[in-house]
Amino acid sequence: MKKSSYWLIAVIVAIISSSCAGVIGLKTPVLTGGKIETKGYVAKKPPVLFDDFEAGSVIGAYAYANTAGSASAKLMISEPATDKAHGGSYCAKAVFDTGTNADWGCGFGCQSTYGGGYIDATGHEYLSMWVKVNEGVSYYIFVNEAAANGADGEFWNGPSMTGSGDWQLYEVPFEDFYKNIYSGNQSGNNVMDLSGLGTVGAQLAGAQGKGTFFMDDISFK
């Protein structure tokens, strides 16, 4: 075969290779108007409600903070006269100070009004949650398993998000959550056990100032 033939074959191979570039890529969560981008999702089951806070209370409310960095947080039910919920009359409300330590600031979470300690989200694929927090505040949503109904008490953190100052819907696929290696059961099965989801909340990065974090209409879809 002549050299020109070899050269022609090499050119054709190069063209084919370059035309395929970018077809295969790693999945990266993308925020699209407050929503983690998911493509081709088809709901397999009706949504199951975690909490809409319309009972006028926050069940199992707790908060934690980097007190060494002067951070603080308190989770409570909203006040309808001054706080506008996303839907209905009530939402959960956390008043926070992220302190001076940039490593981490504070966090807060609650259980479900409806689940008796946990919600069975078997067969569902993502967390849906309305959030309103000061513009530019960085945080992530977390979901903690209960030690019940086949779940083993592992804690799971979602991808980083940024507040807009307005109510926005965040829908995060369960597959985008990763195990918390500092809290929760470290001897579990390393799988998010959807049969027993006990707590939903958020953790804020440090050194971001003070503000208010609202969350409402939390469900699994």
Residue 34 domain flag: yes
Residue 18 domain flag: no
Structure tokens that stand for 182 in this block: 């500092």
Alpha helices by DSSP H, 35-179? none
Element (H, E) at 15: helix 3-20
Residue 76 sits in a domain of what CATH number? 2.60.120.430
Per-residue pLDDT tens digits of the chain, which is 221 residues long: 444 444 444 433 343 333 333 332 223 333 333 444 444 455 678 999 999 999 999 999 999 999 999 999 999 999 999 999 999 999 999 999 999 999 999 999 999 999 899 999 999 999 999 999 999 999 999 999 999 999 999 999 999 999 999 999 999 999 999 999 999 999 999 999 999 999 999 999 999 999 999 999 999 99
d(C-alpha 166, C-alpha 179), whole Å: 29
Residue 35 domain flag: yes
Residue 55 domain flag: yes
Structure tokens that stand for 209 in this block: 């100032």
pLDDT of residue 3: 44
Beta bridge partners, 63, equal 108
Residue 15 domain flag: no
60, HSE (Cβ side, Cα atoms, 13 Å):
18
pLDDT of residue 136: 97
Residue 13 domain flag: no
Residue 2 domain flag: no
Residue 7 domain flag: no
pLDDT of residue 115: 87
pLDDT of residue 45: 83
d(C-alpha 90, C-alpha 215), whole Å: 10
When divided into structural domains, the chain yields a total of: 1
Boundaries of domain holding 135: 26-220
